[in-house]
Structures are given as structure tokens and as C-alpha cells.
A and B are shown apart, each in its own frame.
Chain A
Amino acid sequence: MNQSFKSLLGGVLSLTLVACSNDDDDEMMMEPESQAYRIKITNLTHFQPLSPPAAVLHDDSSHWWMIGSAASEALEKMAEGGDASDLLALLPDNTRHAASDVLLPGMSHEFTIETDDMDENRLSLVGMLVNTNDAFSGINGLELGGLQSGQTEVVYTHAYDAGTEMNSEAAGTIPGPADGGEGFNAARDDVTSVVTMHPGVVSADDGLTTSTLSAGEKFDNPTLRIEITAL
């Protein structure tokens, strides 16, 4: 819905610009030399700490993931073990932000990201829901170009499944504090081997007696609130 809203808004704005273009006192459009964004991430889950979130600005030529396509190994490392460094390394020259700490449920992380490359007009942002086998959340190439200085856009994110590890919920397979088990493992054994949305965790309290998770680790969409303000 957010994107559809934005598209509609874009249409309205462009109509407004057309309407104004006959004004006599048109200002010269100055090509901006840099663009900064203030970004605030809030973890909306009950007990799914988010691995240190990573964000990157990029053009329309790259994706960290695509629904229906197999995850890259870099995405797998982040989704299974919470380490986003390989994802950031895929875009070595891009403007980025890497948080240093886990984002606990109910908490927010705020940062400013600034680019002098006007082609870097999309934002991607990820973190792992660490009390899962391979769930992550974030945004995937959100267009920021329509955001005027001072404007804020709020996006609510879904939880995704990397499709690289079976959601066994077995003891020893989940790196977060609910289990303290294994993170990244290159083996792929998921029932669906492409990135999809995540089905949620079952937990021992909800009938999966072999699960190392409890009802406290259950989550629903949306999982993150992300507020983006163009400065």
C-alpha cells in the first residue's frame, strides 16, 4: 500500500509541478550536490532481536534479494547468522550504514546516511530475526527519489524467509538468545529453496514439541517500522 500511495502521490505532485510551470518567477532548478536521510528503525516484535541492521543506498541495478529467486550466499549468511558484512561487500563503493549493535524488541535505532551520488536513490536495509532459523526483515530497493526535503515516509516491513535452512526450530539451529545455536551453515535444506515471506515460528507452546522456541518468539507482520526523512 505504501508504494501505491507513493505512486499516486507522485502523480499528484507532477500535476502540481505542471500547474506551476507557467509562473513567471520560476526558480532555476539547482542540481543538489548531496542528499542526506535520517532513518529510524523500530523493532515491532515481541522477542525477536534484530541482528545489527545494515543499510545501503544504491541505484536500480542491484537487489539484495528477490522473492522467488534463490538467496545469494551473502544473504544466507545474514539470514542464518545475522552477519550482513558480505551483503555490504557486494556494493563496495556505495553509501552504507552498519549498526554495531543488535536492535532489541521495542527499541529504535536512528542514523543519518548521506550520499553525493544522485543515482543512489534507493534504500535497502536488512537484519535477521535472530530467534529463527533463517528469517529476516527489511526493505528492498525502496525508491527515495520522490521524497522532498523535510518529507517523511514510513514503511512497515514484512518478515522474509531466505529459503536456505529448514524452519526446524530444533535446539542448536538458532543463533539467537532463545537457543544459542548455530548461525550460518552453507548446506541448504529448506522445503522451498527461494526467498519468500516467512510463515512465522510454531514454537513448543503451539504444539511443536521439538521446538526450542516458546510462544515469546512468535511474531506477525509487520516486523519493523522504518521512518525515512529527507534532510
Chain B
Amino acid sequence: MKKTLLALAISAASISAASAQDLTISITNLTHGSHFTPLLVSAHPADSHLFEVGMAASANLQAMAEGGDTSGLITDLNAISADVSDNPAGGLMMPGQTVTFDLMTAMDNSNLSVVAMVLPTNDGFVGLDSMAIPTMAGTYTYYLNAYDAGTEVNDEIINGGGAPGAAGIPADPLGSGGTGATGVTENESNDKIHVHRGVVGDSDASGGFSDLASRVHRWLNPVAKLVIEVK
């Protein structure tokens, strides 16, 4: 099934990959207790990537994954004449929230990427890495997973730390987390981008090893739904 899909996608893409396209995109935060920081959605050439699993994160991806700052990635995208939708939801996306927006893609910007930090995490993000945009008119649905940038220890301590390299989690927008945690771990043994193992959390609001709430902040993949309408 997947091979067929890939083959169809490739053959469809090869028909007119270089054409400009008029897209309507919907993205839904499927999680029950996590917010997304401002989304960055971009159409760009097929050989460009905001991130690749198994590779180390760029400094600009790290800034997005640890603190939700997409400005460096946007600078990167502008340098390659990508089409960029910066923060289409106008801020944080709540659990269950959907944002719908148009994206006009220029010739050669044949592939789509999506990133946003999953909050509260240390360096978790929802991602789509350079997927060929379908060229036949139609509506296409995809599900996105959560990744770990591999740049920060998943200590699960909420301390405002959102700058690249600063330990800890910037904030818990839902307000369900705790304080005073000792930290889940001091190690991050995989420093490459990988599928996020999920958060642990605990039920101790004023201590324990995690400031996250195990009944609220965990998730199961997928964490986002992406619908692309090709006109």
C-alpha cells in the first residue's frame, strides 16, 4: 500500500513538479493536552529540508524545537526563495484546534515542510519533512508525528528555559503542570533527530521527578492532521 502510494506520488509529481500551485492547507492539533507554538509551513525545492530524521538538528531548528522561535528557519527559507506561511494560526494552537490557510507556491517549490514545537516538551516538535506536494487536483490527508530534536535533555522541568541550549521547558500553556521537579533524566543519548519517545510526567504538582502531568501531557502519535487541497 505504501509503496503504491509512493509510486503514485512520484509519478504524479514528475508530471508537473515545476508548476506553481494554489493550495489550501488545514492543520489540526490532535493532542489532548499539548499546544503547538506558531506553525511554520513552507513550500520549497525538493532537495531542501528543515530537518531530517537521523541527522543532527541545525541551530535554527534547535531554536524552534526548544523555544518555538522560527525566525532563523524563516531566514533560511527566504534565502532559497521558498514560499512561507509564518504563524498562520496567529499564535499558539490549542489541543483540537484547526487552522486553514492558502499557500501559493512558486515554480520549483514542489515540496512541503511543516514544523512547530510541542509545548510543553524540552525539544519536541511536530514535523513534516520535505514531502512532494501532489499535483493532481484533489484533497489529500496526512498524519504527522512528534519528533525530538536531540538537542536537549528531556528533564521535564518547567523553568522558562526556551533559549537554545538552555535546559528546561519554557511553559505549560494549559496550566496543568507542576513545579519543583528533580528531573526525569540528565542524559540524552540520541543527539540526532528521532521520533519522540513521549513524555513521562507524574501526578505530583509540587515535586516528583517531572513537572509535566502524566494524565494530561502524554500523547500517542499522530499528533497532527494535515489536509492539502490542490486546486
Residues of A within 8 A of B (CB): 1, 3-5, 7-12, 67-69, 158-159, 161, 163, 166-169, 191-192, 194-200, 202, 206-210, 220-221
Interface residues in B1-19 by Cβ distance below 8 A to A read: 1-2, 4-5, 8-9, 12
Give the segment of B69-77, B108-116, B219-227 that binds chain A: B219-227
Q: Do most interface residues of chain B lie in helix, strand or loop, or is the interface mixed?
A: loop
Looking at the assembled complex, report how far the CB atom of B101 sits from the nearest CB atom of chain A, in whole angstroms: 16
Interface presence of B87 (CB below 8 A): no
Note all chain A residues with C-beta closer than 8 A to B140: 3-4, 7-8
Scan B62-98; emit 1 where CB is below 8 A from any A CB, else 0: 0000000000000000000000000000000011111
Cα–Cα distance between A220 and B145 once the two chains are bound (Å): 13
Cα–Cα distance between A169 and B215 once the two chains are bound (Å): 9
CB atoms of B8 and A8 under 8 A apart: yes
CB atoms of A8 and B218 under 8 A apart: no
CB atoms of B32 and A196 under 8 A apart: yes
Scan B114-155; emit 1 where CB is below 8 A from any A CB, else 0: 000000000000000000001011111111000000000000
CB atoms of A191 and B5 under 8 A apart: no
| Other contacts beyond A10-B138, A12-B8, A191-B33: 9, CB < 8 A | A1-B5, A1-B141, A1-B143, A7-B139, A68-B96, A192-B33, A199-B218, A199-B220, A207-B202
CB atoms of A199 and B136 under 8 A apart: no
CB atoms of A220 and B220 under 8 A apart: yes
Note all chain B residues with C-beta closer than 8 A to A4: 5, 134, 140-142
Kindly report which residue of chain A lies nearest to residue B210, judged by CB atoms.
A207
CB atoms of B136 and A197 under 8 A apart: no
Interface presence of B203 (CB below 8 A): yes
CB atoms of A67 and B96 under 8 A apart: yes
Please tell me the number of chain B residues within 8 Å of chain A, measured between CB atoms: 44
Looking at the assembled complex, report how far the CB atom of A156 sits from the nearest CB atom of chain B, in whole angstroms: 11
Note all chain B residues with C-beta closer than 8 A to A159: 220
Q: List 30 A-B contacts (CB under 8 A).
A: A3-B139, A4-B5, A4-B134, A8-B5, A8-B12, A8-B140, A67-B28, A67-B96, A67-B225, A68-B96, A163-B32, A167-B32, A167-B216, A191-B174, A192-B33, A192-B96, A196-B29, A196-B31, A197-B31, A199-B217, A199-B219, A199-B220, A200-B219, A200-B220, A202-B215, A206-B214, A207-B200, A207-B214, A220-B220, A221-B222
Scan B189-231; emit 1 where CB is below 8 A from any A CB, else 0: 0000000000011110000000000111111111101000000
Cα–Cα distance between A159 and B219 once the two chains are bound (Å): 11
Note all chain A residues with C-beta closer than 8 A to B32: 161, 163, 167, 191-192, 196-199
Note all chain B residues with C-beta closer than 8 A to A209: 203
Note all chain B residues with C-beta closer than 8 A to A161: 32
CB atoms of B221 and A221 under 8 A apart: yes
Scan B40-52; emit 1 where CB is below 8 A from any A CB, else 0: 0000000000000
Note all chain B residues with C-beta closer than 8 A to A168: 215
CB atoms of A68 and B28 under 8 A apart: yes
Contact partner of A202 (CB less than 8 A), chosen from B141, B218, B220, is B218
Cα–Cα distance between A94 and B2 once the two chains are bound (Å): 34
Note all chain B residues with C-beta closer than 8 A to A195: 96
